[in-house]
Structure 1
């Protein structure tokens, strides 16, 4: 300890003050950087205590734990995209039910339903909004509840694995894949609506994720098999919408989870770029199918639809 002499009197050196609060005297210091700090600015550490500046620096230096899909590992994260998609589907259903004046026959007399329902011939005539809008429509409350329950069950965990942005892209690409298959393989005046194409895509993505995690995909394969069998067996269900969504979602998940390893990506950044490139390739493939179907339908004799597309054409749910 040093001493100071003033006019023959001995005095102690001044007490150090906190580097963040100069008006606070303190006898404590950070065991990492050695700077004086008050109790408010110190945090317990494995050895001693660190100031808040050193804690922040340490957090920046530590690479965050990530899932196999490249998302930050956070079991407590709220699956906000899944909940948001459910909310949008429910909102659209409420609007169509209010316009139609019926909860079960919401597709009759609803202007929004008439504008969004997927009819390949109308899409070929330039009404491309139907490709996406139809994925948020539902034929009655039961159709809505079944699809939203499936989305709630599979979407929450998949969103945590893939991350919000990649998950949202897989959902939308699955929806687009279902619409592309309907455009190419369904009747030109078939009216198709529902979120099942996107949900089937999530089924495929969950299956790929289980394989990537070296867990048994058997439960998801059974669910997919049962649903595909139902699609084949029951009339009025869009088989092609289901299969198109399943194919697009599966390919998108393969691109995110397996393509980086197949292409020997050396860094996480390179793996992410490969995943995004694969998602883009799947989206481009879906658009190519839609363009080809549009060209073909435009070459066919025109079809005159009398009344609302959802009621005058063959109805298919998905």
Structure 2
């Protein structure tokens, strides 16, 4: 009498005899290593191979999307704003009046004549300063709400670019239209993200009415209350909106034939908006020094 051959064992667990096998690769596998498939059952190794070979899922802006995306750039921007505020509060020894007695606040706040004297860092640095904790909390809450979705759709680099361009647009508007004021805050960038989210909703063929209402209410508040940088808000809104239109709509308007060409067109559009904002800042600075 011939002895029976030994039962096959799982390829991943050699100590487990099994009568099951992967319907794709045919290797014996235990029940723990098999997953239901459209036809039969596949082992976990075959499933991993499928995931690696599958093309990445991309958003309408061409950014790769993950199953559980983490908005690292949004969190980093919030952290930077909070750290800068903490430094100004420590320097001024006051949480409410952090702008008084803080050398950092004095060096970074946007003041057109100071920019004209060569202190160009104020154009961006002022976007990370805030007048007191309420100003900081309002801007960071808005950044948290709209920034996460914008970062998911645009991708981290393009999202950061839109944020920076919005800051530049807000500073450029202040340089031209509010030259005798001192301006600080992330509001210009946040308004730019308001515009970006509105463009994203239109691109996704969803109703932008809610965002338009929010923008309208905030613009009305900017008109109504003293001490709010209306031109910084409007400049940031315009720059962020135009940059996002360039990313999401301009490639189709120009009939880009590939994803790479579409991304290049988007980056060129962002660079053009940034260049215009910087040119406005430079022209205004030259006028003030003339």
Q: Which moved more, 1:230-239 or 1:254-263?
A: 230-239
Distance change (3 Å), C-alpha of 1:269 and 1:27: farther
Instruction: Pick the aligned partner of 2:283 from 292, 304, 314.
Output: 292
Structure 2 partner of 1:181: 173
Instruction: Pick the aligned partner of 1:30 from 8, 22, 26.
Output: 22
Structure 2 partner of 1:224: 215
Structure 2 partner of 1:50: 42
Is 2:95 aligned against 1:99?
no
Instruction: Pick the aligned partner of 1:156 from 144, 148, 152.
Output: 148
Structure 2 partner of 1:118: 110
- Which one has the bigger helix percentage? 2
Q: Distance in 2 between matches of 1:75 and 1:232?
A: 41
Unaligned stretches of 5+ residues in structure 2: none
Structure 2 partner of 1:311: none
Distance change (3 Å), C-alpha of 1:75 and 1:219: farther
* Superposed counterparts of 1:1-318, under 5 Å: 10-13=2-5, 16=8, 26-39=18-31, 41-74=33-66, 76-187=68-179, 189-299=180-290
Q: Distance in 2 between matches of 1:234 and 1:15?
A: 81
1:19: Cα distance to partner?
Answer: 5.1
Q: Distance in 2 between matches of 1:33 and 1:81?
A: 42
1:13: Cα distance to partner?
Answer: 4.8
1:134: Cα distance to partner?
Answer: 0.6
Unaligned stretches of 5+ residues in structure 1: 1-8, 300-318
Q: Which moved more, 1:287-296 or 1:248-257?
A: 287-296
Give RMSD over aligned pairs. 2.4
Q: Distance in 2 between matches of 1:145 and 1:60?
A: 42
